[in-house]
Structure 1
Amino acid sequence: MQSVSWLRRRKYGLMRLGLLTLAAVLATAARAEENVPNCEVPPYLLATESKLPKVAEAVKNGKPLDILVLGSRSSAIVSTSDNNAYPFRLQAALKEKLPSATVNLSVELQPKKTAEEMAGSFVKLLEAKKPNLVIWQTGTVDAMRSIDPDEFRAAVNNGVTELQDAGADVILMNLQYSPRTETMISVPPYIDNMRVVAQERDVPLFDRFAIMRQWNENGDFDLFNPTHGIELAKQVHDCLGKALSKLIIDAAQLGPVAQQN
Structure 2
Amino acid sequence: MKPRTGAMLALTLLAGLAAAGPARAEDKAQDKDAAAAPTCEVPSYLLATESTLPKVAEAIKNARPLTVLVVGSRSSTILSSENSAYPAKLQAALKEKLPTIPINLSVELQSGKTAEEVDAGLVKLVEAKRPTLVIWQTGTVDAMRSVDPDEFRGAIDNGLVALQNAGTDVVLVNLQYSPRTETMISAPPYLDNMKVVAQQHSVPLFDRFAIMRHWNDAGDFDLFSTFHGTDMAKRVHACLGRALSKFVLDAARLDPAQQN
Which residue does 2:25 correspond to in 1? Answer: none
Give the aligned CA root-mean-square deviation in angstroms. 1.8
Offset of 1:39 from its aligned partner? 1.8
Offset of 1:251 from its aligned partner? 0.5
SS at match of 1:37: coil
Which residue does 2:140 correspond to in 1? Answer: 140
Query: Do structure 1's residue 163 and structure 2's residue 163 form an aligned pair?
Result: yes
Q: 1:128-207 alignment to 2 at 5 Å? A: 128-207=128-207
Alpha-carbon separation, structure 2, partners of 1:106 and 1:71: 11
Alpha-carbon separation, structure 2, partners of 1:83 and 1:208: 20
* AA matched with 2:165: D
The normalised TM-score by structure 2 is: 0.85
Answer whether contact 2:64 2:102 (CA < 8 A) is retained: yes
Which residue does 1:117 correspond to in 2? Answer: 117
Which residue does 1:20 correspond to in 2? Answer: none
The size of the alignment, in residue pairs, is: 230
Offset of 1:35 from its aligned partner? 8.3
Query: Do structure 1's residue 97 and structure 2's residue 84 form an aligned pair?
Result: no
The runs of 5 or more residues in structure 1 that have no matched partner are 1-27
Offset of 1:84 from its aligned partner? 0.3
My pick for the range that moved more, 34-43 or 227-236, is 34-43
* AA matched with 2:155: A
Answer whether contact 1:37 1:221 (CA < 8 A) is retained: no
The normalised TM-score by structure 1 is: 0.85
Which residue does 1:51 correspond to in 2? Answer: 52
Alpha-carbon separation, structure 2, partners of 1:233 and 1:93: 18
Q: Deviations over 1:24-62 (max 9, x none)?
A: xxxx9xx95798432210000000010000101111101
Answer whether contact 1:45 1:211 (CA < 8 A) is retained: yes
Alpha-carbon separation, structure 2, partners of 1:181 and 1:136: 23
Answer whether contact 1:37 1:220 (CA < 8 A) is retained: no
Q: Deviations over 1:214-260 (max 9, x none)?
A: 00011000111142311000000000000000001100012321225
Answer whether contact 2:136 2:173 (CA < 8 A) is retained: yes
Q: Which has the larger radius of gyration?
A: 1
Answer whether contact 1:84 1:238 (CA < 8 A) is retained: yes
Which residue does 2:22 correspond to in 1? Answer: none
SS at match of 1:134: strand
- If asked which structure has higher relative contact order (CA below 8 Å, sep 6+), I would say 2
* AA matched with 2:182: E
